[in-house]
Amino acid sequence: MKAELFSYTLEKADQCHKIALHRVLYGYKDVSNKGRYHYQRKGIIDELAGKKLNRGVFIIPKQHKKQVLSILRKNKATVNTLPITV
Protein backbone atom coordinates (compact mmCIF):
# COMPACT_ATOMS: atom_id res chain seq x y z
CA MET A 1 0.00 0.00 0.00
CA LYS A 2 1.30 3.45 -0.88
CA ALA A 3 1.12 6.01 1.90
CA GLU A 4 2.42 9.38 2.99
CA LEU A 5 4.35 10.08 6.16
CA PHE A 6 3.46 13.50 7.57
CA SER A 7 5.58 15.45 10.01
CA TYR A 8 4.38 18.83 11.22
CA THR A 9 5.15 21.55 13.76
CA LEU A 10 2.94 24.30 15.09
CA GLU A 11 5.56 26.90 15.99
CA LYS A 12 3.86 29.68 14.02
CA ALA A 13 0.29 28.84 15.10
CA ASP A 14 -1.52 30.40 18.02
CA GLN A 15 -3.21 28.31 20.72
CA CYS A 16 -6.61 28.37 19.02
CA HIS A 17 -5.23 26.84 15.82
CA LYS A 18 -3.24 24.23 17.75
CA ILE A 19 -6.28 22.93 19.62
CA ALA A 20 -8.47 22.98 16.52
CA LEU A 21 -5.91 21.01 14.51
CA HIS A 22 -5.39 18.37 17.18
CA ARG A 23 -9.13 17.88 17.55
CA VAL A 24 -9.57 17.44 13.80
CA LEU A 25 -6.61 15.08 13.44
CA TYR A 26 -6.83 12.92 16.55
CA GLY A 27 -10.39 13.35 17.81
CA TYR A 28 -11.54 14.28 21.31
CA LYS A 29 -13.86 13.35 24.16
CA ASP A 30 -17.14 15.25 24.14
CA VAL A 31 -19.12 15.64 27.36
CA SER A 32 -22.70 16.89 27.40
CA ASN A 33 -25.56 17.44 29.86
CA LYS A 34 -23.27 18.39 32.77
CA GLY A 35 -21.09 15.32 32.40
CA ARG A 36 -23.89 12.81 32.06
CA TYR A 37 -23.03 11.69 28.53
CA HIS A 38 -19.58 11.00 27.15
CA TYR A 39 -18.80 10.64 23.45
CA GLN A 40 -15.53 9.82 21.73
CA ARG A 41 -15.36 11.88 18.53
CA LYS A 42 -13.08 10.34 15.92
CA GLY A 43 -10.39 12.31 14.18
CA ILE A 44 -9.55 12.34 10.50
CA ILE A 45 -6.59 9.97 11.02
CA ASP A 46 -8.94 7.28 12.35
CA GLU A 47 -11.51 7.89 9.62
CA LEU A 48 -8.93 7.63 6.82
CA ALA A 49 -7.31 4.44 8.18
CA GLY A 50 -4.16 6.28 9.19
CA LYS A 51 -1.87 5.75 12.14
CA LYS A 52 -0.31 8.14 14.62
CA LEU A 53 3.37 7.31 15.14
CA ASN A 54 4.60 10.03 17.47
CA ARG A 55 3.86 13.62 18.42
CA GLY A 56 3.44 15.48 15.14
CA VAL A 57 4.06 12.38 12.98
CA PHE A 58 1.45 10.18 11.31
CA ILE A 59 0.81 8.03 8.22
CA ILE A 60 -2.15 8.43 5.85
CA PRO A 61 -2.97 6.50 2.63
CA LYS A 62 -1.66 8.36 -0.42
CA GLN A 63 -5.08 9.10 -1.96
CA HIS A 64 -5.98 11.37 1.02
CA LYS A 65 -2.83 13.52 0.88
CA LYS A 66 -4.47 16.68 -0.51
CA GLN A 67 -7.27 16.61 2.05
CA VAL A 68 -4.89 16.33 5.01
CA LEU A 69 -2.47 18.93 3.61
CA SER A 70 -5.25 21.49 3.29
CA ILE A 71 -6.28 20.93 6.92
CA LEU A 72 -2.71 21.29 8.16
CA ARG A 73 -2.01 24.43 6.14
CA LYS A 74 -5.32 26.01 7.15
CA ASN A 75 -4.22 25.73 10.78
CA LYS A 76 -0.79 27.29 10.13
CA ALA A 77 1.28 24.12 10.47
CA THR A 78 4.73 23.70 8.95
CA VAL A 79 4.50 20.38 7.07
CA ASN A 80 6.99 17.86 5.69
CA THR A 81 5.82 14.79 3.75
CA LEU A 82 7.57 11.65 2.63
CA PRO A 83 6.12 8.97 0.31
CA ILE A 84 6.44 5.45 1.71
CA THR A 85 5.31 1.93 0.89
CA VAL A 86 3.70 -0.05 3.69
Convert the pLDDT of each residue in 37-62 to its tens digit.
999 999 999 999 999 999 999 999 99
Structural domains of the chain, with CATH: 2-85 (3.30.70)
Q: How far is CA 13 from CA 19, 41, 52, 72, 83, in A?
A: 10, 23, 21, 11, 25
Percent of the chain surpassing pLDDT 70 = 100
Confidence of residue 8 (pLDDT cuts 50, 70, 90): very high
Q: Where are the beta strands (DSSP E) in the chain?
A: 2-9, 28-32, 37-41, 51-54, 57-61, 78-85
- pLDDT score at 1: 85
| Across 2-31, average pLDDT | 95
| Residue 66 confidence (pLDDT) above 90 | yes
